[in-house]
């Protein structure tokens, strides 16, 4: 299972390089194409509450950085 993130960065917010570093610290890998980052879940029995808790963690880490996030988990 993978969680993809597409980000929108504001000119009034944090620099893109800092945002990218934050995503890598959280275990994401940079991608090219439709999505900006991907997180590959370890294990096969991932339940929705785990994904929601992880998204909460990402939100907390990026709080105040003026970034819009779009998550897709497949």
Query: Could you give all domains of the chain from N- to C-terminal order, each with its CATH number?
Result: 2-73 (3.30.70)
> What is the C-alpha to C-alpha distance for residues 67 and 16, in angstroms, rounded to an integer?
10
CA distance 16 to 59: 16
Looking at the predicted structure, is the pLDDT value of residue 44 above 90? no
The reported pLDDT for the residue numbered 58 is 97
Average pLDDT over residues 4-21: 95
pTM metric for this prediction: 0.90
Average pLDDT over residues 49-57: 97
Span 9-16, average pLDDT: 94
pLDDT confidence band for 28 (50 / 70 / 90): very high
Q: How far is CA 26 from the centre of its chain?
A: 8
Mean predicted confidence (pLDDT) in 20-48:
95
Residues present in the chain in total = 74
């Amino acid at each position: 299972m993978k969680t993809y993130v597409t980000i929108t960065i504001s000119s009034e917010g944090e620099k893109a390089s800092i945002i990218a570093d934050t995503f890598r610290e959280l275990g994401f890998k940079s991608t090219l194409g439709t999505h900006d980052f991907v997180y590959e879940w370890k294990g096969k029995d991932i339940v929705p509450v785990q994904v929601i808790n992880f998204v909460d963690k990402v939100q907390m880490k990026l709080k105040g950085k003026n970034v819009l996030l779009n998550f897709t988990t497949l």
